[in-house]
Amino acid sequence: MEQLKAKLIQLVETLEKQKYDDVMQRLDDLISVYPFNDYEFLIASLMGYGKISIDDYYELRDDYIERNMYLYIFEISAPRSFGESWAQGNLKSICPELVKPTKKLDVNYSGQYDFFLDNQIKIEVKASRAVDFDSGEALYVKALASDSPLKFDMNFQQVKPACCDVFVWVGVWRDVIRYWVLSSDEVSQNKYYSMGHHRGNTGEGQIHLKDSNIAEFTAFESTARKLVDDIRAAYLRKIGNKK
């Protein structure tokens, strides 16, 4: 959003002084009521003054959508809706081989993991969104682009390595979705993994993926096309370490 507004303000600054002053004064006094807001006002003003054509508008729109393809995900306010409904749905859509576990498939299943693969691999999905660490704004306002220099802290919570074989982490930015695949041992033994300290969460911890340490997880990063293969590889690493 900041790039779009900066571009629009740059165009406003090319107006003759009286028109510039009028637009900026109206912008300062503007009351936004959906769907009318400062972006709509600036675009309409610039088109009215002949500073942007309909083709220019389409280009602005296409560029904005490309930079904010996944902004709608930041509008999912309920953590459960994001972490379970969206994240698991996203993974299932790109990896149809994954199946929801049942007691018929696993007699010991009681909701402790999210997916089953090859009738043996237990997979837990964790998701988080990259937002400006120092902002108190709503999620969709402080959502970061993948090239942002601002600090972020994606906290993967309620992590229980003993309950699954493989973890799939899903990280969402405004413009990209990234995936990491780790065996449960690689999570539990990671230096950033910390056990919980609250009553009743035995075997449960959390891990923070930050702007300061994300590069250390490059070896575990996957792509949509490779996820299933990388899940199998992580499982083999886990059982190989047990031999």
Is the pLDDT reported for residue 33 higher than 90? Answer: no
Tokens at 148, concatenated:
């942002």
Residue 243, pLDDT score? 55
- The structure's pTM equals 0.82
Would you say residue 232 has pLDDT above 70? Answer: yes
Between 220 and 241, where is the model more confident? 220
> Contact, 124 vs 164, CB < 8 A?
yes
Lookup: tokens for 63:
């560029």
Cα–Cα distance between 144 and 74 in angstroms, integer? 10
User: Measured in whole angstroms, how far is the alpha carbon of residue 231 from the centre of its chain?
Assistant: 20
DSSP string, 55-118: HHHHHHHHHHHHHTTTGGGGG---HHIIIIIIHHHHHHHH-TT-B---TTT-TT-SSS-SEEET
User: Quick check: 198 pLDDT over 70?
Assistant: no
205: nearest Cα among 163, 151, 152: 163
Per-residue pLDDT band for 192 (boundaries 50, 70, 90) equals very high
pLDDT in tens, 155-179: 998 999 999 999 999 999 999 999 9
Q: Mean pLDDT across the chain, nearest whole number?
A: 91
Separation CA 53–CA 186 (nearest Å) = 54
Counting every residue, how long is the chain?
243
User: Between β-strands 121-129 and 166-172, what pairing exists: parallel, antiparallel or unpaired?
Assistant: parallel
Q: Which tens digits make up the pLDDT trace of 88-128?
A: 999 999 999 999 999 999 898 988 999 999 999 999 999 99
Whether residue 2 is predicted with pLDDT greater than 80 in this model: the reply is: no
Residue 202: predicted pLDDT: 66
Q: Is the pLDDT of residue 242 over 90?
A: no
At 197 the pLDDT is: 53
